[in-house]
Amino acid sequence: MRRNEDRIGRVLFAVRSYVIFFALAGFVVTCCMMLFLSSMVREMGLALTQTDIRHAARITLVNVLALTGALTLIDGVRRYQLIDKPVQRILDAAERLMQGDFSVRIAPVPTLGSHNGLDEIAACFNRMAQELSGTETLRADFIANVSHELKTPLAVIRNYATMLRAPELPQAQRLAYAKVIGDTSQRLADLISNILRLGKLENQQIFPAFAEFDLSEQLCACLLAFEDAWEEKRLDIETAIEDGVRAYGDAQLLELVWNNLFSNAIKFTGCGGRVSVRLSQENGQAVVTVADTGYGFSADVGAHIFEKFYQGDTSHATQGSGLGLVLVRRVVDIHGGEIAVSSAPGRGSTFTVRIHQGGAMK
């Protein structure tokens, strides 16, 4: 229905164009021809009667109208092939895109050797459709992963809460089950907090407050907050933190980076292992290195370690949500810094973060 209306509209436009422009041009040319012949008769004394002049004018008018009609037809075909048809393809593709078909693409628009702006529109449309397709895939994966990550701790809490109702349950087991529920609840709360933080960072709802601050002091404070965790696992903590190292950035956001790296290092290192933290200055950058002797991971896992909900070691998947390192990477990117990781299975992991010093990011 809509296409029929569009065709009728194009026909009416062509007729209107012909009447307004070409018929008007034919009338003007005919009048000019009559004036020309009349002046020739007067000045050169040609033996032409008014009847001859009117006949010549009619022939001229018919010829001009026929010629302009042919030109109108040719122009209409050209317009249809080079403008109307490509525009209709773009409109159809846009309609499919609005209906959720992100696979739609527009073929290159044919030209006659000249530059055609419709080609640029089609190219921009294809890039937009590709970006939307990628975004939609990420959104679907994100929702699926969030649902899975929420279901797992909720199932644990529900199962242990059910077991706690048993009247004959010994006190020691009751306390152990209560501890599992508490730890799982905390992990669930951390997951939700990380999702909210990541969403705000990606949607630019958090505006970093950049300023110089004492990075050495911040690292020590963050590390001491995990004292109970490393003592419980009897870990050997090695520090080589240079005093007075200052960094330029948002101290609150960077605190997320150090807390996540320290938490992962302690979490994925077995009892009696070692975690080392180093801070130095190189070429106007503060370099923070967090290394452990934990489980480690392969190079294939390392290539995806900063992706949402990615957990390379499924045997320890219950200890993390797969969002911590995504937050770390995002915060480091916001600060114009760099983060690198090296690891090997059974040999631990080393994360290196470089943050700018001074009054501006380079």
Is residue 133 included in any domain, yes or no? no
Which pLDDT band holds residue 129 (cuts at 50, 70, 90)?
Answer: confident
Same domain flag for 191 and 218:
no
Q: What angle do CA 127, 133, 136 make, to 5 degrees?
A: 140
Same domain flag for 233 and 310:
yes
Same domain flag for 252 and 348:
yes
Give the mean pLDDT of 85-94: 81
Same domain flag for 216 and 194:
no
pTM attached to this predicted model: 0.52
- Amino acid letter, residue 304: H
Is residue 127 included in any domain, yes or no? no
For residue 36, what are the domain limits? 2-101
Same domain flag for 94 and 171:
no
Q: What's the structural domain count of the chain? A: 3
Is residue 110 included in any domain, yes or no? no
Q: Which CATH number covers residue 321?
A: 3.30.565.10
What confidence score (pLDDT) does residue 87 get? 79
Q: Give the separation between CA 346 and CA 297, rounded to whole angstroms.
A: 7
For residue 276, the number of C-alpha atoms closer than 13 Å in the C-beta half-sphere is: 11
What confidence score (pLDDT) does residue 94 get? 84
Burial class (CB in 10 A: 0-12, 13-18, 19+), 294: buried
What confidence score (pLDDT) does residue 21 get? 65
Question: How does DSSP classify residue 272?
Answer: T
What confidence score (pLDDT) does residue 314 get? 44
Same domain flag for 216 and 345:
yes
Which tokens is 167 given? Answer: 């009247």
Q: Which CATH number covers residue 162?
A: 1.10.287
Which tokens is 152 given? Answer: 């797992």
> Which among 82-96, 141-155, 193-207 has the top mean pLDDT?
82-96
Same domain flag for 219 and 162:
no
Is residue 120 included in any domain, yes or no? no
Residue ending a domain, choose from 70, 101, 132: 101
Residue ending a domain, choose from 152, 176, 202: 202
Is residue 125 included in any domain, yes or no? no
Burial class (CB in 10 A: 0-12, 13-18, 19+), 234: exposed
| 288, 353 Cβ separation under 8 angstroms | yes
Q: What separation in angstroms does the CA of 173 have from each of 156, 170, 178?
A: 15, 5, 8
Q: Give the separation between CA 153 and CA 156, rounded to whole angstroms.
A: 5
Same domain flag for 297 and 322:
yes
What confidence score (pLDDT) does residue 318 get? 41
Which tokens is 258 given? Answer: 């150090």
Give the mean pLDDT of 281-294: 91
- Amino acid letter, residue 266: I
pLDDT surpasses 50 at 319: no
Same domain flag for 218 and 328:
yes
Q: Give the separation between CA 277 and CA 5, rounded to whole angstroms.
A: 72
Is residue 113 included in any domain, yes or no? no
Q: What separation in angstroms does the CA of 134 have from each of 108, 154, 306, 307?
A: 22, 30, 17, 14
Q: At how many degrees (to 10) do helices 117-164 and 171-202 cross?
A: 170
Residue ending a domain, choose from 101, 136, 165: 101
Same domain flag for 96 and 25:
yes
Residue whose C-alpha is closest to residue 208's, from 247, 242, 241, 246: 247
Which residues have CB under 8 Å from 355's CB, separation 6+? 215, 247, 248, 249, 254, 285, 286, 288, 332, 335, 337
- DSSP secondary structure string for all residues of 90-124: HHHHHHHHHTT-TT---PPPP-SSS--HHHHHHHH
| 19, 72 Cβ separation under 8 angstroms | no
Same domain flag for 240 and 162:
no
Residue 168 φ/ψ, nearest 5 degrees: -90, 10
What does the pLDDT look like over 35-64, one tens digit per residue?
666 666 655 555 556 676 667 667 766 776
What confidence score (pLDDT) does residue 220 get? 92
Is residue 134 included in any domain, yes or no? no
Is residue 57 included in any domain, yes or no? yes
Q: Give the separation between CA 220 and CA 262, rounded to whole angstroms.
A: 11
From edge to edge, which strands make up the β-sheet containing 285-292? 236-241, 274-282, 285-292, 348-356, 338-344
Same domain flag for 217 and 352:
yes
- DSSP secondary structure string for all residues of 16-27: HHIIIIIIHHHH
Percent of the chain with pLDDT over 70: 63
- DSSP secondary structure string for all residues of 206-248: S----EEEEHHHHHHHHHHTTHHHHHHTTPEEEEEE-TT-EEE
Give the mean pLDDT of 252-273: 87
| 129, 123 Cβ separation under 8 angstroms | no
